[in-house]
Amino acid sequence: MMAAFRLAHLSDPHLPPLPAARLRDLAGKRAFGYLNWTRNRHKYHRRDVLDTLVADMQAQQPDHVAVTGDLVNLALEGEFNPARQWLEGVGPPADVTVVPGNHDAYVRATRHRFVAMFGDYLRGDADGAATHFPFVRRRGPMALIGVSSAVPTPPLMATGWLGHAQLGELDKILAQLSREDAFRVLLVHHPLHSDGRAKRLTDAHQLLALLKRHGVELVLHGHDHIHSTMWFDGPERKIPAIGVPSASALPRKHYPAAAYNLFSIERDGNGWRCEHTVRGFDSHDGIRELQQMRLC
């Protein structure tokens, strides 16, 4: 009997510290973001927290790691090289899959820098040197499907959007994968349901329609910086969608401290068995297991 495949998931590292910015780089939306960072966000996004969390995750020896976006903060040119160095410390491209978040495409001027910098971490197995969304990566029993909800938005908005072209291609991919023997995991930055209009995935209803028609076994996302488990309709059974707090965060207000998800995936007769463990910071004991449950 083969050992269970272990998939780790973290999100929203918002890699600190923010590099020095030129005045000309802080026009428009970045001015609001920079003010928010210098007044508030730098207090609770900490590099020591992020490094400790990643070290604990690596100690669990996952077979693969999924990172669901927001590696950077304002998408300044000076943020991308440090983010690349950090990601290489998490693991090589063969062992780590990344999708972008809204902060990675914060403004139009640098919206394409994420793909240029991290292309080998978000390139499908059959795509050669090209990088596009959606993509598919096969790892063990899994088919990882990456989509991009990252688009530049006006100040004070953090919405996401997949668009007709991406949804159309995803329809074909999910139809094909539904006929194959694979544990299908969809990676997207924005959650599939949000109470706030300023942070929602604007075409979530179309994505949910595809999932109801074709199904996947698991959806992983970030963006909200909270622990989240939501269930959505699939063709035969409910689909779990799992979110996670920021990987660099100290606790504040209703936002919990940094954590990551760990999934143990294996065949169970004609179906799948997936055990979900949450590990994260505890106010008294450092990092510990916070929750464990069976998803399927």
* Cα–Cα distance measured from residue 82 to residue 50, given in angstroms and rounded to the nearest whole number: 14
Domain spans, the chain: 5-294
Place of tokens 């604007």: 202
What is the strand order of the sheet 228-232 is part of? 135-139, 142-146, 183-187, 218-220, 239-243, 228-232
% of the chain surpassing 70 pLDDT: 99
Read off the pLDDT of residues 70-84 as tens digits, 9 standing for 90 and up.
Answer: 999 999 999 999 999
What pLDDT was estimated at residue 34? Answer: 95
Mean pLDDT of 261-267: 97
Model confidence, pTM? 0.97
Read off the pLDDT of residues 269-281 as tens digits, 9 standing for 90 and up.
Answer: 999 999 999 999 9
Mean pLDDT of 221-240: 98
Q: CA dist 147 to 99, 144, 163, 170, 224, Å? A: 7, 10, 10, 8, 17
Listed range (18-27, 56-65, 229-238) with the worst mean pLDDT: 18-27
Read off the pLDDT of residues 110-144 as tens digits, 9 standing for 90 and up.
Answer: 999 999 999 999 999 988 888 899 999 999 999 99
In the numeric block, which tokens belong to residue 261?
A: 């998800």
What pLDDT was estimated at residue 1? Answer: 55
What pLDDT was estimated at residue 128? Answer: 84
User: Which of the four pLDDT bands, split at 50, 70 and 90, describes residue 2?
Assistant: confident
% of the chain surpassing 90 pLDDT: 91
CATH code for residues 5-294 = 3.60.21.10
Read off the pLDDT of residues 178-203 as tens digits, 9 standing for 90 and up.
Answer: 999 999 999 999 999 998 889 999 99
Question: In 3D, which of 266, 267, 211 has the Cα closest to residue 241?
Answer: 211
Mean pLDDT of the chain: 96
Mean pLDDT of 165-171: 98
- Asked if the model's pLDDT at residue 29 lies above 60, the reply is yes
In the numeric block, which tokens belong to residue 221?
A: 């996302």
What pLDDT was estimated at residue 231? Answer: 98
What pLDDT was estimated at residue 101? Answer: 98
* Cα–Cα distance measured from residue 166 to residue 276, given in angstroms and rounded to the nearest whole number: 29
* Cα–Cα distance measured from residue 46 to residue 154, given in angstroms and rounded to the nearest whole number: 27
Read off the pLDDT of residues 146-165 as tens digits, 9 standing for 90 and up.
Answer: 999 999 999 999 999 999 99
DSSP string, the chain: -PPPEEEEEEB----SSPPP--GGGGSTHHHHHHHHIIIIIHHHB-HHHHHHHHHHHHHT--SEEEE-S--SSS--HHHHHHHHHHHHHH--TTTEEE---GGGG-SGGGTTHHHHHHGGGS--TT-TT---SSEEEEETTEEEEE--------TT---B---HHHHHHHHHHHHHHTTSS-EEEEE-SS-S--S-GGGSBTTHHHHHHHHHHH--SEEE--SS-S-EEEEE--SSS-EEEEE--BTTBPPBTTBPPPEEEEEEEEEETTEEEEEEEEEEEETTTEEEEEEEEE--
- Contact in structure between 258 and 249 (CB atoms under 8 Å): yes
